[in-house]
Amino acid sequence: MSEGTLGVLLLGFAGLGPDQDHQQDMYLPAFGTHDGFEVVAAAGTPGDAADQAAAERLAGKLGLPAPAADLDAALADPAVDVVSVCAPPERRVDAVIAALRAGKHVLVDKPLALTAADAARVAAVAAESGTVCLPAHHQRFHPMIAAARGAVAGGKVGLPWNVQADFLVAGGTPSPAGELANFAVYPVDVVLALTGLRVRRVYARLSTYWTDGGADDFALLFLTHENGLTSTISIGRTRELADTRPAGLAVHRYRVSGSHGVLDIDASRPAVVLRRAEASSQTWHGAGTVDRLLDELHAAVSAGRPSSPSAADAVHIAEIVDAARTSGVSGHPVDLRSDQEGSR
């Protein structure tokens, strides 16, 4: 392993849905092509036999050492600098905390935790350990969004006072935890990254329109931020559409209105648009959002600084999601406590 290359332990092979494995579908390919990382080990989530079997299969396939007997042993490996955690959601927080306590840097699949209280536990340990704990809110690294963050921060539209966002996925397997839990972190993180303004008040509507099950597949969040900025975010999973790959984004956009201008961000662009007899599709060259997320992970580890986004950012998003759930049930807006540190 060359100088500056970070050894990666892949821990856990799940997502938020029954057929999801974000580790192998998203993070492993990105680690594999990134110069700054080398996958050195795999381990299953403790107490999850299927997950451990997946780790063994992957280790065999990649020619990695056989997975360690238990998590402590896996985390004791000095070749491991970074732990990529895709443990099932109910075991995720414990896995992240164990990795942080072992002095490792952590990349955590989203959502970092299912509740704000659990996210806060992780953030507290991360603050104590001084290692990087990066929640995988990778949409903020989208080239359109990253450029827009710079433009807004630079005053291009003056003082922003409203953001409208749509994050609508088409097709794929519905998340049993609901799409609020599954997807909200992405657009909420983008809105927070664009504006730098924490949320004070949440009104939400949760509905089930496309699936038969009980879990929500559509959420509307009406957020009131510091400095009076308001944002409205639609989040959902519609039925499949011919021009969108399964579980791809059918609509992904943000409009930032400011005192001196308007910025429209269409995250379905830039794209080469292909139109064919069966359907049309879009492609683009260049680093993907997960690749750019790993750039941030590497930069934060190398510089010895907290990552952006940080675990604290994930806590605030989890608070918003918790409040949305409460509001969705009560039908009334929910005020958030304002004694948290800033989300920047």
Stretch that binds other proteins, among 57-65, 223-231, 282-290, 299-307 (CB under 8 A): 223-231
Q: According to the binding rule CB under 8 A, does residue 228 interact with other proteins?
A: yes
49 Cβ neighbours under 8 A, 6+ residues apart = none
* CA-wise closest residue to 103 among 72, 149, 58: 72
Spatial distance between the Cα atoms of 281 and 275, rounded to a whole number of angstroms: 6
Q: According to the binding rule CB under 8 A, does residue 332 interact with other proteins?
A: yes
C-beta of 222 vs 281, nearer to other proteins: 222
Q: 112, 170, 192, 311: which one contacts other proteins (CB under 8 A)?
A: 170
Q: Which residues pair with 282 in a beta bridge?
A: 273
Q: According to the binding rule CB under 8 A, does residue 238 interact with other proteins?
A: yes
Q: 24, 162, 173, 282: which one contacts other proteins (CB under 8 A)?
A: 162
Residue with tokens 């490996």: 77
DSSP letters for 170-212:
ESSPPPTT-HHHHHTHHHHHHHHHHH---EEEEEEEEE--S-S
Spatial distance between the Cα atoms of 161 and 229, rounded to a whole number of angstroms: 4
Q: According to the binding rule CB under 8 A, does residue 187 interact with other proteins?
A: no
In degrees, rounded to 5, the angle at the alpha carbon of residue 194 between the alpha carbons of residues 25 and 109 is: 25
Q: According to the binding rule CB under 8 A, does residue 249 interact with other proteins?
A: no
Region 5-44 residues binding other proteins, contact defined as CB under 8 A: none
C-beta of 123 vs 163, nearer to other proteins: 163
Q: 4, 18, 261, 270: which one contacts other proteins (CB under 8 A)?
A: 261
Residue 327 C-beta-side C-alpha neighbours within 13 Å: 23
Q: According to the binding rule CB under 8 A, does residue 173 interact with other proteins?
A: no
How many binding residues for other proteins (CB under 8 A)?
A: 37
Q: According to the binding rule CB under 8 A, does residue 207 interact with other proteins?
A: yes
Q: According to the binding rule CB under 8 A, does residue 227 interact with other proteins?
A: no
Antiparallel, parallel or unpaired: β 248-258 and 230-238: unpaired
State the minimum distance, in angstroms, from the CB of residue 216 to other proteins.
Answer: 12
State the minimum distance, in angstroms, from the CB of residue 326 to other proteins.
Answer: 14
Stretch that binds other proteins, among 57-65, 89-97, 135-143, 325-333 (CB under 8 A): 325-333
C-beta of 43 vs 148, nearer to other proteins: 148
Q: According to the binding rule CB under 8 A, does residue 326 interact with other proteins?
A: no
Angstrom distances, CA of residue 164 to CA of 112, 147, 233, 342: 25, 17, 6, 22
Q: According to the binding rule CB under 8 A, does residue 168 interact with other proteins?
A: yes
In degrees, rounded to 5, the angle at the alpha carbon of residue 276 between the alpha carbons of residues 271 and 277 is: 155
In the chain, the amino acid numbered 88 is P
Q: According to the binding rule CB under 8 A, does residue 234 interact with other proteins?
A: yes
Which element (helix H / strand E) includes 236? strand 230-238
Which chain residues interact with other proteins by CB under 8 A?
158, 161-162, 164, 166, 168, 170, 201, 203, 205, 207, 209-210, 218, 220, 222, 224, 228, 230, 232, 234, 236, 238-239, 241, 250-251, 257-262, 264, 331-333
